[in-house]
Structure 1
Amino acid sequence: MKFLEYTPLDSINFFLSHVSLGECTLKGNLEAYSCKHTGLDRKLSLSLEHEILDYLGRSSDSDSPSPTDYLSSRSSRKTLIYLVLTLGHMYPDYDFSAVQAHHFFREEGWESFKQIFDTYMFEASKEWTVANGGGSLLESLSKAVDEVVKLADCEIYSYNPDSDGDPFLEKGAIWSFNFFFYNRKLKRVVSFRCCCLSNLAAEGFLVDEMLNEDDDAEVDIFDDMDM
């Protein structure tokens, strides 16, 4: 996987880097990746493939039903591996499991993506219209993504992990969503992640940090005193 720089994404990323919405702040970005493997990706791909095949083998020996039909397809496993590799490049400090990620990915249609976007990005879209003298944030975003991966030929996936396995969550996060636009022919992926953070929670976090620093300072002072 290789990070790709595309100018059409820049203006949207600049806007989404910090959208102040009163008591909360919205942050998001778009990233484009080539699915062509580097040396490290090839090794990781093989590891993920073996993990999936081992899971399929264990599932076939089990009496309990499991959703393995999707993973039984070589093409589907390849898609899943590309998506997991993309996650790995986005969050290099997090170790993603293909089998676990499989349960969190869901294929979406454009209409379902649009509905989620309109619901969560309503206030941000109004800010975009004001900042840009009109125009739609969704239209601008879809046009930019289309230039990179040709939306008509894309498969769209959402990624919704549970709280224990979610590297996206930040301190004070109210909500977050993660989408991936995958063009099988072009072998490219565009990720779109966004989260809304509570300013009050963030301020409380800073206060806690300051108090902890003060406590540490007091300990250091008393450590130097003879009792």
Structure 2
Amino acid sequence: MKFLEYTNLDRLNEFMGHLNLGERTIKGCLEAYSCKHTGTDKRLSLSLENEILDYLGKSSDTDSSSPVEFLLSRSSRKALIYLVLTLYQMYPDYDFSTVKAHQFFSEESWDSFKQIFDAYMFEASKEWVERNEEGSLLEALYKALDEVVKLAECEIYVYNPDPDANPFLEKGAIWSFSFFFYNRKQKRVVSFRFCCISNLADEGFLTDTIAQADDEEIFNDMDI
């Protein structure tokens, strides 16, 4: 996998990188990767493939909704491996199990992505309109993604890992989403992570408040 630089993505990242909205901060990041193997990718890809085949060999589950059914397709296994390789590029120190990762990925449509974006990025979109005269934030995002991965040809995945083992989750996060736009023909992936962080938690306000409350309880029990 190779990181790809695009000016249109950089512009959106500059806007969404740290959008302070008072008590909350919106953070968004778009990253594009080529699926062509570089460095250790080939060895890791082979290891992930063997992990899947070993899992398939041991499993007798034939439920059409199970990971097995999805992983029986070579093209689906390839897509999953590219998504996991992208995760490794983003978080090289984190261990992503291919089989478990499948359980956390679900395919989405552009319409479902749009609904989530409109609902959770409403304030960010208002801020974009105030700063820019040419269209909405979603329109700018669509255009940028389309230029990089041709959305009409894309498979869109959302990644929802276990909250206790989520490398994307930041301290003080109110909500967080991770989408991946994968174009098989171009062999290219764009990741889009966006989240909302509580500035009160980020500044240690909640911790200080709890500590203060504890101190008051201690003093209440003391004769002064």
Q: TM-score, normalised by structure 1?
A: 0.87
Residue of structure 2 in register with 1:221 after alignment: none
1:30, 1:192 → 2: CA distance?
5
Residue of structure 2 in register with 1:108 after alignment: 108
CA shift in 2, pair 1:86/1:205, >3 Å:
farther
Deviations 1:146-205 (A, max 9, x none): 111111111100001111220001110000001011010000000000111000111117
Asked if the contact 1:59–1:66 (Cα under 8 Å) also holds between the matched residues in 2, the reply is: no
Q: Where do 5+ consecutive residues of structure 2 fail to align?
A: 212-224
Asked if the contact 1:178–1:193 (Cα under 8 Å) also holds between the matched residues in 2, the reply is: yes
Residue of structure 1 in register with 2:130 after alignment: 130
2:181, 2:28 → 1: CA distance?
15
Residue of structure 2 in register with 1:154 after alignment: 154
State the 1:134 CA deviation: 5.1
1:6, 1:206 → 2: CA distance?
39
Q: Number of aligned pairs?
A: 208
Residue of structure 2 in register with 1:67 after alignment: 67
2:85, 2:36 → 1: CA distance?
11
2:14, 2:32 → 1: CA distance?
15
Asked if the contact 1:4–1:32 (Cα under 8 Å) also holds between the matched residues in 2, the reply is: yes
1:83, 1:136 → 2: CA distance?
29
Residue of structure 2 in register with 1:81 after alignment: 81
Q: TM-score, normalised by structure 2?
A: 0.88
Is 1:52 equivalent to 2:52 in the alignment? Answer: yes
Asked if the contact 1:105–1:160 (Cα under 8 Å) also holds between the matched residues in 2, the reply is: yes
1:118, 1:146 → 2: CA distance?
18
1:45, 1:115 → 2: CA distance?
34
1:43, 1:165 → 2: CA distance?
25
RMSD of aligned Cα (Å): 1.9
Asked if the contact 2:70–2:76 (Cα under 8 Å) also holds between the matched residues in 1, the reply is: yes
State the 1:93 CA deviation: 1.6
Residue of structure 1 in register with 2:163 after alignment: 163
State the 1:95 CA deviation: 1.1
State the 1:66 CA deviation: 4.1
Code of the aligned partner of 1:128:
W
SS of alignment partner, residue 96 of structure 2: coil
State the 1:58 CA deviation: 1.6
Residue of structure 1 in register with 2:120 after alignment: 120
1:205, 1:39 → 2: CA distance?
44
Q: Where do 5+ consecutive residues of structure 1 fail to align?
A: 212-227
2:31, 2:16 → 1: CA distance?
12
Residue of structure 1 in register with 2:185 after alignment: 185
Asked if the contact 2:88–2:96 (Cα under 8 Å) also holds between the matched residues in 1, the reply is: yes
1:157, 1:5 → 2: CA distance?
22
Deviations 1:108-159 (A, max 9, x none): 0110010111111111000011011352000000100111111111110000
Residue of structure 1 in register with 2:222 after alignment: none
1:182, 1:66 → 2: CA distance?
22
1:78, 1:199 → 2: CA distance?
40
Residue of structure 2 in register with 1:142 after alignment: 142
State the 1:206 CA deviation: 9.8
Code of the aligned partner of 2:76:
S
Q: Which moved more, 1:78-87 or 1:196-205?
A: 196-205
Asked if the contact 2:171–2:197 (Cα under 8 Å) also holds between the matched residues in 1, the reply is: yes
